[in-house]
Amino acid sequence: MSSRILSGILGVGVDIVQISRIQAVAMRRGYDRLANRILSETEKNDWNSLTDTYLRNRFLAVRWAVKEAAYKALYPAFRPSWGYLTFRSLYGAHSKPSLVFTDRNANPPILAPVKLHASVSHDAGFVVAYVLAESDSKL
């Protein structure tokens, strides 16, 4: 992590991915191998609970797009690895999707000093994700 973080907006990132492309990668390299590469531990638990193949592919595609967009929004202040980011889609009646960046290099691991805002949409076999990164107001 960088020791110098400016306050305010760090960046905006966007990514689009075709679900069939993620499915092809997973079929070539193995679903578990791809999931272990791109998912946080929390996401792996959610992914393992899915039984429908299409939902599993879409789950991976959403996380791929969100994390690519997050990297673009955070760079160069931060360079997170895939597993350091956890995306939770809508859960609860009045909850928005959330994206959390955990600095696992810290001992013990801590939440990174940024706030991430994420928006994801999927339709017609595509997933698009937008992420806005801002410095934490506590800095």
Q: Which pLDDT score is estimated for 113?
A: 83
The domains found in the chain, sorted by start residue, are 9-135 (3.90.470.20)
Q: What is the pLDDT of residues 73-129, one digit of tens each?
A: 999 988 888 999 999 886 555 578 889 998 666 656 667 788 999 999 999 999 999
How far is the C-alpha of 34 from the C-alpha of 43, rounded, in Å? 12
Q: Which pLDDT score is estimated for 61?
A: 97
Q: How many CB atoms lie within 10 A of CB 89?
A: 15
| Average pLDDT, rounded, for the chain | 87
Residue 42 is given by DSSP the state H
Whole-model pTM over 0.95: no
Q: What are phi and psi of 120, to 5 degrees?
A: -130, 140
Closest of 113, 65, 108, 114 to residue 87, by C-alpha: 65
CB 7, CB 29: distance < 8 Å: no
